[in-house]
Amino acid sequence: MTTPRLKAGIFVRALIRRAQVEGAQAAVLRMGSEEAGAVIIRVARLDGTCLLLNQARAGDGELVWARPLGDWTDEARANVWCDKQVKFDPDIWIVEIEDRQGRAFVDEKIV
């Protein structure tokens, strides 16, 4: 069973609110297409490292979050990867969550 997809803008605003309610800071680094832009989440632990997550579909069609650079990486490497994604897809959203605990605030599985 596939999960229906929210409009990107609604998802981003809800994600930011969820992070803020839990005591983290979150902001849109790059605004994409309100209707259907892909979303990248940068989780920064405020120690120079971050975790990148991008939306993907599992084999059964379920929405999951992939770690395109593996586990925690340095911010410079993350910046290079994000810049390449923006060139490939100008409708993409990039949201940064600053949380020392490294929480992503998503319900879907992170793979």
pLDDT tens digits for range 16-71: 999 999 999 999 999 998 887 899 999 999 999 999 999 898 889 888 999 999 99
Judged against a pLDDT cut of 50, whether residue 1 lies above it is answered with no
Confidence of residue 5 (pLDDT cuts 50, 70, 90): low
Mean pLDDT in residue range 5-21: 92
Residue 108: inside a domain, yes or no?
no
Give residue 36's domain range. Answer: 8-98
What are phi and psi for residue 82, nearest 5 degrees?
A: -65, -40
CATH no. for residue 34? 3.40.1530.20
Residue 21: inside a domain, yes or no?
yes
What are phi and psi for residue 62, nearest 5 degrees?
A: -70, 145
pLDDT 10s digits, 80-105: 999 999 999 999 999 999 999 999 99
Residue environment code for 44-66, b if the CB has 16+ CB neighbours within 10 A, otherwise e: bbeeebbbbbbbeeeeeeebbbe
Residue 29: inside a domain, yes or no?
yes
Q: Which residues pair with 110 in a beta bridge?
A: 65
Residue 58: inside a domain, yes or no?
yes
Residue 71: inside a domain, yes or no?
yes
Spatial separation of the C-alpha atoms in residues 31 and 93, rounded to whole Å:
5
73 contact partners, CB below 8 Å, separation of at least 6: 49, 50, 51, 52
Judged against a pLDDT cut of 90, whether residue 2 lies above it is answered with no
Confidence (pLDDT) at 63: 87
- Number of domains, the chain: 1
